[in-house]
C-alpha cells in the first residue's frame, strides 16, 4: 500500500517525539505492545477501535470505539463531517483498511463500517487496490511458510506454529491468517522471534472466542497483548527472568487456558513430506 499509493513515511527511529507539539496514535493506544511510544510518553490524540486502556484516559483527546470493526471507519466519518473532499489515494487507503480489519466485511463488521465502505468505494482507485491486495511476495515469505508447514502442531481443534526467526513482526499475523483456514481448526496460535522479542498472533473461528482476554492472560506479568473477540496478538522478551524460553511458556499458557494441555500434538504435515521419503 505504501508503495502503490506513494505514501510518504519515516521510520520511528528517525524522529524524536519530543520535537512535536501534537502526536496522534491511530489503531493503537499508549502502553500497548504495538505502540512505538515509550510507556511514559503520552500522545495528544488517540483514535482506536480496540477496548479502552486505562492509560488512554490520561490522553487529551480520545475517540475509542470498540464496537466498530475498523479505525478507518472512524476517520472516514471525521473527514465526512469536516466536509473534506476525499482524493483517490486517501479513499483507497481507508477502504483497504476497512477491508483488512473486517475480512472483506465478514468479521467484526458493523453498520458504520458498511456505510463508510459504501461512501468510499465510488472514489477509490480500483487498479491500485487490486495491486495492493495481490502483491508479489519476497522469497523470505516462502522460507517462513515452509518452516511453518514443517513445524505446525495440532492439539484437538487448535493449531500451534513456531515459525522461528521472522523478517518482520507482521509475519506472525500473515501466517496465522493462512493457518486458521485449516479444516477442523477453531484456534490458531503463531509465534515468531524478531530481534530480542517473541511476537505471537492468535485467531479463532468462534464468534465468542474472546481472543483479547486469552492473549492478555498468556502474557500477564511477562509482556503486552491486545485484540478483539476473534483476533489478537502480543509480544514479550524472548526469555523470562528465570531463563525459560518465552515461547514455551506462552504455548503452555494457551493450552492450559483453552483446556488442551492434556492432548498429544500431531503434525499438520507428515515429516516424510519434508524429508523427501
Average pLDDT over residues 83-108: 94
Of all residues in the chain, the percent with pLDDT exceeding 90 is 77
Q: Are strands 187-194 and 158-165 parallel, antiparallel or unpaired?
A: parallel
Is the pLDDT score of 275 beyond 60?
yes
In CATH terms, the fold of domain 139-275 is Diaminopimelate Epimerase; Chain A, domain 1 (3.10.310)
Q: What's the average model confidence in pLDDT over 130-134?
A: 95
**CATH number for the domain formed by residue range(s) 12-132:** 3.90.1640.10
The answer to which of 27-31, 63-67, 170-174, 205-209 has the lowest mean pLDDT is 205-209
Burial class (CB in 10 A: 0-12, 13-18, 19+), 114: middle
Tell me how far apart the alpha carbons of residues 91 and 117 are, in angstroms, rounded to a whole number: 9
In angstroms, the CA 198 to CA 221 distance is 15
Identify which of 146, 140, 159 has the alpha carbon closest to the alpha carbon of residue 202: 159
* 98-113: average pLDDT: 92
Buried b (16+ CB within 10 A) or exposed e, 163-172: beebeebebb
Instruction: Tell me where in the chain the CATH 3.90.1640.10 domain(s) lie.
Output: 12-132
Does the CA dihedral 137-121-80-86 come out positive or negative? Answer: positive
Write the pLDDT tens digit of every residue in 19-34. 999 999 999 999 787 7
- Which residues, at least 6 apart from 208, have a Cβ–Cβ distance to it below 8 Å? 229
State in Å, rounded, how far the first CA of the chain is from the last one.
Answer: 42
CATH 3.10.310.30 boundaries in the chain: 139-275
* Confidence at residue 130, expressed as pLDDT on a 0 to 100 scale: 97
Q: What is the pLDDT of residues 170-190, one digit of tens each?
A: 899 999 999 999 999 999 999
Indicate whether 152 pLDDT > 90.
yes
Q: How far apart are CA 63 and CA 65, in angstroms?
A: 7
In the structure, how many helices (H) and strands (E) does the chain have? 9, 10
Distance CA 202, CA 192 (A): 12
CA distance 151 to 190: 11
Task: Summarize the confidence of residues 206-222 as an average pLDDT.
Answer: 89
Q: Which of the residue ranges 35-44, 101-110, 122-131, 143-152 has the most confident prediction, judged by mean pLDDT?
A: 122-131
What is the residue-averaged pLDDT of the chain?
92
Determine the pLDDT at residue 277: 57
Amino acid at each position: 500500500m505504501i508503495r502503490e499509493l506513494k505514501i510518504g513515511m519515516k521510520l520511528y527511529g528517525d524522529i524524536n517525539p519530543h520535537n512535536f507539539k501534537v502526536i496522534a496514535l491511530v489503531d493503537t493506544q499508549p502502553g500497548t505492545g504495538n505502540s512505538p511510544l515509550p510507556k511514559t510518553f503520552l500522545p495528544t490524540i488517540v483514535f482506536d477501535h480496540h477496548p479502552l486502556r486505562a492509560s488512554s484516559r490520561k490522553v487529551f483527546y480520545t475517540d475509542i470505539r470498540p464496537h466498530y470493526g475498523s479505525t478507518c471507519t472512524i476517520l472516514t466519518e471525521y473527514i465526512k463531517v469536516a466536509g473534506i473532499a476525499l482524493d483517490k489515494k486517501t479513499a483507497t487507503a481507508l477502504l483497504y483498511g476497512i477491508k483488512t480489519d473486517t475480512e472483506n466485511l465478514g468479521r467484526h463488521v458493523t453498520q458504520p463500517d458498511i456505510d463508510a465502505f459504501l461512501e468510499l468505494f465510488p472514489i477509490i482507485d480500483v487498479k491500485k487496490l487490486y495491486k495492493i491486495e495481490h502483491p508479489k511476495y519476497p522469497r523470505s515469505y516462502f522460507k517462513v511458510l515452509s518452516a511453518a508447514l514443517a513445524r505446525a502442531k495440532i492439539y484437538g481443534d487448535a493449531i500451534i506454529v513456531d515459525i522461528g526467526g521472522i523478517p518482520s513482526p507482521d509475519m506472525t499475523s500473515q501466517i496465522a491468517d493462512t493457518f486458521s483456514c485449516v479444516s477442523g481448526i477453531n484456534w490458531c496460535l503463531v509465534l515468531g522471534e524478531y530481534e530480542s522479542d517473541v511476537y505471537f498472533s492468535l485467531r479463532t473461528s468462534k464468534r465468542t472466542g474472546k481472543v483479547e482476554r486469552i492473549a492478555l492472560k498468556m502474557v500477564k506479568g511477562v509482556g503486552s497483548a491486545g485484540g478483539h473477540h476473534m483476533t489478537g496478538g502480543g509480544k514479550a522478551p524472548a526469555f523470562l527472568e528465570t531463563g525459560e524460553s518465552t515461547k514455551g511458556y506462552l504455548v503452555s499458557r494457551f493450552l492450559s487456558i483453552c483446556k488442551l494441555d492434556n492432548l498429544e500434538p500431531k503434525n499438520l504435515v507428515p515429516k516424510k513430506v519434508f524429508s523427501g521419503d
